Amino acid sequence: MGTTREQERTPIVEATNVVKIYDTGRVKVPALRGVSLTVYGGEMVAIMGPSGSGKTTLLNCLSGLDTIDEGMILIAGKELARLPDDVRSEFRARHMGFVFQLFNLIPVLSALENVELPALLAGIRPSEARRRAWAVLEQVGLADRAGHKPAELSGGQQQRVAIARALVNQPDIIWADEPTGNLDTETADEVMALLRRLNRENGQTFVIVTHDPRIGSMCDRVIQMRDGLIIDDGLASFRAAAGGE
């Protein structure tokens, strides 16, 4: 991180009393029950908790992929829920990147084409989209596999392509849901080392949902969830690690 003093950092994600209820028609299931948290620019944060604790729901709500029933979420000072749909979609495309457990690569496209697609969809001219795609593939160490289709790549290589795709629009925030869930331990460590390096080199914010304590230990801060609530926002541990600041 570029700074170690909490008061010198700027909030990039601010959630206040967020409630999310899933209504099946027969029963209402409270997935988030008044969640408040702050993520600072340049942080690499893990969200952890048992299955059903609400961690993926929180990620989806924070990123605007899902709606909320109560509360407020600000991303870089903007309340996405109040933006028109087209403006919100454009904001996500330009300022956010997404990495999932399932790589979600398009099988008929090459690695380079998969990576440049979000830039083209964001209105970037083709020549610039191609330049950016090459640059981020080089960042993740896969420029030599640019012409390969997903089926010709290993799981770790496919996830690195997915990470490059998330980076191509130079977003402020990368949201990652179990990004190492389909990888063996060695490959997972390599992917996390890559995310850590990108976080430090680019100053981008990473919010990572994981069930793996090892993955959590590689992040700056671990937010613990249980039953739709945050039971530990990790700030006390962060301050202690930063020397009490």
130-147 residue pLDDT tens: 999 999 999 888 999 999
Q: Quote the domain boundaries for residue 207.
A: 43-56+86-243
> Rounded distance, CA 94 to CA 91, Å?
5
Q: Is 233 helix (H, G, I), strand (E, B) or coil?
A: coil
Please indicate, yes or no, if residue 11 is contained in any of the structural domains: no
Please indicate, yes or no, if residue 4 is contained in any of the structural domains: no
Give the length of the chain. 245
> Rounded distance, CA 245 to CA 227, Å?
31
Please indicate, yes or no, if residue 200 is contained in any of the structural domains: yes
Domain holding 122: CATH number?
3.40.50.300
Task: Give the number of domains in the chain.
Answer: 1
Please indicate, yes or no, if residue 25 is contained in any of the structural domains: no
Strands (DSSP E) found in the chain:
11-23, 28-40, 44-48, 70-75, 78-79, 96-100, 173-177, 205-209, 221-226, 229-232
Please indicate, yes or no, if residue 105 is contained in any of the structural domains: yes
Q: Is 79 helix (H, G, I), strand (E, B) or coil?
A: strand
Please indicate, yes or no, if residue 29 is contained in any of the structural domains: no
Q: Which helix (H) or strand (E) holds 175?
A: strand 173-177
Please indicate, yes or no, if residue 48 is contained in any of the structural domains: yes
In this structure, what DSSP letter does residue 220 have?
S
> Rounded distance, CA 138 to CA 147, Å?
13
According to the model, what pLDDT value does residue 238 have?
65
The average confidence (pLDDT) of the chain is: 88
Please indicate, yes or no, if residue 210 is contained in any of the structural domains: yes
The per-residue pLDDT for range 200-224, each reduced to its tens digit, is 988 999 999 998 898 999 999 999 9
In this structure, what DSSP letter does residue 216 have?
H
Per-residue pLDDT of the chain (245 residues; tens, 9 = 90+): 334 444 347 999 999 999 999 988 889 989 999 999 999 999 999 999 988 899 999 999 999 889 999 999 999 998 988 888 888 888 888 889 998 878 789 999 999 999 999 999 888 999 999 999 999 999 888 999 999 999 999 988 998 899 999 999 989 999 999 888 888 888 888 888 988 988 998 899 999 999 889 899 999 999 999 999 999 998 876 666 656 54
